[in-house]
Amino acid sequence: MTEPTPSVPEPEDLTPEIPGLKPDYDEHGVPSLDYVRDKIEGRAATAIGWEELAGGTEQVQSAEEKFAEREQKGKDKLAEIRRQMGL
């Protein structure tokens, strides 16, 4: 009489549960090309936004020049008023 062979349980999925891990990764933890592309495009958009905030675009530079010109005109006018008042 032979003993029945014990059944071998199915192996568990040993992929670690990492918070924030997106389904765009395979079972080995390698990201998909779509995920990598999205990440690169997001970083490029962020860089462009920071450049705009830092004054890297012509529109921002033009606005800064107009603001500086307006500030100088205001200071000149204030100096003229003080001269007229004898201060």
The parent domain of residue 64 ranges over 33-85
Question: Is residue 22 domain-resident?
Answer: no
In a domain, 81, yes or no: yes
Mean pLDDT across the chain: 81
Work out the burial of residue 6: count CB atoms within 10 Å of its CB; fewer than 13 is exposed, 13-18 middle, 19 or more buried.
Answer: exposed
CB-based burial label for 17 (10 Å; 0-12, 13-18, 19+): exposed
Q: pTM for the whole thing?
A: 0.39
pLDDT, average across residues 52-64: 76
In a domain, 70, yes or no: yes
Domain count, the chain: 1
Q: When comparing pLDDT for 42 and 54, which is higher?
A: 42
Give a yes or no: residue 24 inside a domain. Answer: no
